[in-house]
Each structure stands twice: as C-alpha cells, then as structure tokens.
Amino acid sequence: MSSLCAVALILLTVSEMRTYLTPSTSSQIAIQSSHSKDLFKINVDIELPRMPCDVIGLDMQDSMGNHVQDYYGELHKHRIDADGNELSIESWQEKNANRREVADRIEEELKAGQGCRIEGFAEAVRVPGNFHIGHHAFGDIVQHLNMKGHTLDNSFKINHISFGDLADFEKINR
C-alpha cells in the first residue's frame, strides 16, 4: 500500500508542477448593467436670504476621491434683495473676477442685505459621497470679511432637493 501511495504522490506532484510551469491565459470582462448611466442629477433650489452669492458654493466629494468646490455647471446663483426679489444671476465673468474685486462686491452685497438662491442641478458620479453648500472655495475672502468685522448668516430655506431627472418628478406631480 505504501508503494501505491508513493506513486500517487509522485503523479500528483508531477501534475501540479506541470500545471504550475505551464502558462495559463484567460480573458474575462465584467460589465455592470444595473443602471443606465454612471452619473445622476442632484436637483436643488435653496435660498440663503442673508448670504451673498459670491461667497457660497455647492461642494461635492465622493469615495473615488473626486472633490469639487463651488460647482458651476447647470447650477445658477440668483442674487436676491432683502425681500426675496431677484436682482441678477451670477455670470461666469463675475465668478472669475480677481479676489479683491469679489471681496469688495461681497461687502457691498452684505451692506445691502442681499441674499442668494441656488437652483439647478449638479451631476455626480454614482458612488457614495456627499454634497453641501459652503464657503470652502472662498476661505481667503471669508477671513478678510471676518477681519473687517462682518459676520456671515448661513440661515437657509430648502425649496426643493431631489435626485434624478427633474422631468420624472414633474410627471409625478401632475
């Protein structure tokens, strides 16, 4: 019996060595089709009645390491007066003005009691993450305003937040 075991052991060893030394190639691809798009929409309509548009932005961060401060895209910042009436919409040129010009404009908006309404949508990657409205992209300006004695009022009113195509929600509400 022991010689039979020795032969089996030798055959097993030779077979395993042959498998180990023979290269094996295979091709495989997996496609996840659980959703039709890799992006989804975050629809927002939020009012900050005493916060100038020039010092706030929608920030997004996800588990893949993407971090966007002051998202622009299809998101619009409407300047509003103390009564909630629209004054203007932030333009790309205003958004990219030099920091000193932006800081001066914010001081004037604070004195006038202006606020902001952020509306539209942002597109995010379909992975875990978060979004929030904040001052992160404007830290230097916020510090400048604080040194000049200005305080920022972050109070807000959410008119609408949803995820997905806004048209789908409009169909439901009919």
What are the angstrom distances between the C-alpha of 110 and each of 20, 55, 58, 67? 74, 11, 20, 29
Tell me the average pLDDT across 43-72: 89
User: In the predicted model, what is the mean pLDDT of the chain?
Assistant: 84
Task: Write down the H helix ranges in the chain.
Answer: 2-21, 92-95, 99-111, 139-147, 166-172
Would the pTM count as exceeding 0.75?
A: no
Structure-token match 């989804």, residue found:
40
The predicted-structure confidence for 119-162, as pLDDT tens digits, reads as follows 999 888 888 888 889 888 888 989 989 899 988 999 999 999 99
Encode pLDDT of 6-37 as tens digits: 887 888 788 887 777 777 666 665 555 555 56
